[in-house]
Structures are given as C-alpha cells and as structure tokens.
Amino acid sequence: MSGLPSDPLDLEARPRLLVVDDEANHVRALCDILCDHGYPVEGYTRAQDALGALAESSFALLLTDLMMPDMDGIALLRAALVHDPQLAAVIMTGKGTIATAVEAMQVGALDYVVKPFKASTILSVVSKALALRALRLENASLERALRERAAELEAANRELEAFSYSISHDLRAPLRSIHGFSKILLEDFMAQLPVDAQELVQRVIANASRMSELIDDLLRFARLSRQSLSRHRVSVADLVREVLEELRNQESEGAVEVMVGALPDCVGDRSLLRQLLFNLLSNAFKYTRHKDTAIVEVGCLETPKGERSYFVRDNGAGFDMQQSHRLFGVFSRLHATDKFEGTGIGLSIAQRIVQRHGGQIWAEAEVDKGAAFYFTLPDLS
C-alpha cells in the first residue's frame, strides 16, 4: 500500500519514506499521518516487498517494525543498507529491550520507538532522523571534496617537486658554465681584453652569481611550503644568541650594538624559527651598515589583544611606509641593489614561517630612521 500527500507539488524535492509493519492497519495509519504532513510515503506489510521497492527506487528513511514473521526489522535494515548505505532508519517495536535497541543502533538505526506512540512522537523522530541523514550526506560531500582537494594538492606538490628538480639541475648547469667560463676568460685572457670588455665580463660573472642566489632562494621558498612542522617548546633567547653569534662572525665591517630584552619561550618548529630570526636580524645588520652607530634591538611586547609580540628593531636605512604593501612580496625590494645586496625573498620566507605557525608579522619604519619588525608566535599556554 502507499500514500501520497494532499498537496502533490514539489514531491521530488521531499524525502521519500518507506514504512514496513506486518500489521496492515498500522501501516495504513502511519502512511496517513506522514502523508498529511507532506511526506511521500510507501507502506508494506512484507519485508521482501519493501526490499523490492528499495531496489527499484530510492528512499530517504526506513520506518520498520522490529518483530515480523518473514524477516525481523534488524535483518531488513541490514539488507536495506546494502541497497542504499545512506538510508536512514527508525525501528518500531512493542516488545523492546535494551539489547535489541543496542543491536538496532549497531546495525545502523538512528532511533528506536516503543509502541504504542503518539503521532507527534513519530513525526518528531522522523524529522530528527531525516535531519541527521542530511547532516551525514553533507559531511560525506565535504569529505569527498576534501579528498579531491588533497589529491589536487598532492598533484600540485608533485609538479612543484618536478619544477624544483628542473631548477636545481637543468637550469644550474648552463648557469655554472656561464659563471665558470667567464671567470676563466677574465683570469686567463685579461691582458688581451680591453678595459670595457673586462667590465662586461665582470658584469656577466656578477649577474650569474646573483641568478644562482635567486635560484637558491626560490628553492628555499618552495621547500618551505612543503616542509612539515615539528612543534616543540623553543627557547627564543637561545635562538637569538645563536643567530647573533653567526652574524657577528660574518660581519667584516663595523660593530653593531645589539640589545636583547626578555624573550619568553614559544611553541614551534625550531629550525624554521631560527631561519625567521636569521632573516630579520641579518636584514637589521645589513641596513645599519652605513650608520656611524649601528643599533639593533630584540625584545618582546604584549599586544592589545594579550598576545606576545616579538620584535627586531634597528636604526638603519628604514623605508617609506607607503611602500609597505610590497614588503613581503617575493623578490620585492625597497632599496637599490647597488646599495644593499640581496634577492628580496628573505622577508617573504619570514612571513611564510610566521603564517605557518599561525602568527602574524608586520613592520613599522621611517626613511633613514630605521625599521621594526613584529611577529606573534604560539605561546606555551
């Protein structure tokens, strides 16, 4: 037997229900109640007939009696889920026990109703079961989308690996040749070359070296996007000491006065955070190079939001804040290369490291009066 709602409009958009009970009058009563509330519904007194209906068309919910002569409700639900794993189900019984309720839920039933019940009860149970089914379908759709996205990202990473391999091998070979042969030309045949030609060869060598630096930085930036984070407690103070020691060993011109304040520990990837501090501190050393008294300060403040904000501040060349939107761009430079060396990717790497840790980075500066870079990192709380 079957029932239809009094208003047949938009039936396809409404969830179809399947009612199964060996008592015909009970099936008829349920079909009438559900139809009156707008549900397209089909009712059967035999489980095998219900399975036949499932094989021919789709239903959103199965409302079945537990105790039936030819096949009980749990067996019917098992068979029904083979036809449609997304089918929602509610079990009805007049002789329920905790054991049967648990078994029904384990098989896949979303709810369990004890007879006799009021119309309002069954309508509430059906509505909740359909809502839960809709949520499951939405979650399944999201999981599919995530799997597809993950597959796309994996493919993109493979392409990036291939691109990195091409850069590191295919592009480096001719670059090494240009650089090497140019040096040989200059060293072995300098006396035979006019001064203008010597200057041109020097430019070739310098540009080949710069191109090699650009390739190294590009590969470093690409690897950073794929590198997994290893989060541990990190002593920022220890990292700053290590970086400062390395920079002082490299610095050949002038002394830099460095002031280090209290630096609380954080949580993060130690190697990446060391790279972050190296990039910021090496910039501070570089851009204070022409100062009579070069001063670099490292410390930590509390932001208005209650976050810890580490900073690296200097009194160097600074920059125009109207150009700050370009600051963290890849290969973006705010100073001429003839005044300050570099490829313009160090701050891009610094920003990416901070973002991967869930923090923020920003800067304040004034031309010829220095710059300050602030960044937040997860604390230990």
Low-confidence residues of the chain, pLDDT below 50? 2-11, 336, 338
From 260, 277, 250, select the one nearest 347 (Cα to Cα): 277
Count Cβ atoms within 10 A of the Cβ of residue 283 and give its class: 0-12 exposed, 13-18 middle, 19 or more buried.
buried
Q: Tell if the pTM clears 0.85, that is, is over it.
A: no
What is the pLDDT, as a whole number, of residue 168?
67
What is the pLDDT, as a whole number, of residue 176?
85
> What percent of the chain clears pLDDT 70, i.e. is strictly above it?
85
What is the pLDDT, as a whole number, of residue 50?
93
What is the pLDDT, as a whole number, of residue 323?
72
* Residue 318 Rama label (left phi>0; alpha psi -120 to 50; beta): left
What is the pLDDT, as a whole number, of residue 244?
92
- Cα separation, 4 vs 271, in Å, equals 67
What is the pLDDT, as a whole number, of residue 6?
41
- Cα separation, 268 vs 376, in Å, equals 11
